[in-house]
Amino acid sequence: MPIPTRAFAHVRLTVTDIARSRAFYDEVFGLPVAFEVPADADEATREQLGFLYGGVIYALGDSLLGLRPVSDDRFSEDRTGLDHVSFAVDSRSDLVTAVDTLDAAGIVHAGIKDIGAGHILEFRDPDGIALELYAPAAASAS
């Protein structure tokens, strides 16, 4: 019998430079931090939050998005593992706003593409991890 899953609980990405990645994800997505080790944390707190491995976990709706500083190579969607991460937005107008945000931050993107089922906006994080924003067709008309 299949396992009755209903959604992702969290996704954690490995990054080469946590400060650079945090600055990017903070600027682009502005998600609230769910878990991080406070700078003044005592040893017990550091041990309790050891699952962060020096990274951060953001709240994303009912899910979590984590960054973990462990990798020293470049991302490639052509290797086994992650191809890309797609974030849902409500409408195509949200993608238009996202273009302005990315442009203002100097982040290269591929422009808004109509894929029939909706619209997407593709770009990459500082480690080259492929990211996408997706607006479904029903919502894209707004």
Give the CATH number, domain containing residue 102: 3.10.180.10
Residues 75-90 have a mean pLDDT of 89
R_g of the chain computed on alpha carbons = 17
Q: What average pLDDT score do residues 30-59 get?
A: 95
Same-domain pairing of 26 and 57: yes
- Any domain includes 134: yes
Are 96 and 138 contained in the same domain? Answer: yes
pLDDT at site 76: 82
pLDDT, average across residues 30-48: 96
Average pLDDT over residues 36-48: 95
Residue 142 domain flag: yes
Based on the fold, state whether residues 59 and 124 are members of the same structural domain: no
Q: Give me the number of domains the chain comprises.
A: 2
In this structure, are 8 and 67 located in the same domain?
A: yes
pLDDT, residue 139, reads 53
- Among 71, 103, 127, where does a domain finish? 71
Residues 64 and 103 placed together within one structural domain of the fold: no
Question: Last residue of some domain: 16, 43, 71?
Answer: 71
| β pairing state of 85-88 and 130-136 | parallel
Q: What are the percentages of helix, strand and coil residues in the chain, rounded to 5?
A: 25, 30, 40
User: Which pLDDT score is estimated for 50?
Assistant: 94
Residue 77 C-alpha from the chain's centroid: 15
For residue 76, being part of any structural domain is answered with: no
Where is the domain boundary, 37, 71, 105? Answer: 71
On whether residue 78 sits in a domain, the answer given is no
Residues 90, 141: one domain? yes
pLDDT exceeds cutoff 80 at 29: yes
Name the residue among 93, 98, 104 with its Cα closest to residue 131. 98
Is pTM beyond 0.75? Reply is yes
For residue range 54-67, list pLDDT tens digits in order: 999 999 999 999 99
Residue range(s) defining the domain that contains residue 95: 84-142
For the purposes of burial, counting CB atoms within 10 Å of the CB of 58, is it exposed (0-12), middle (13-18) or buried (19 or more)? buried
For residues 17 and 23, the answer to whether their CB atoms sit within 8 Å is no
Mean pLDDT of all residues belonging to the chain = 92
pLDDT, average across residues 79-100:
94
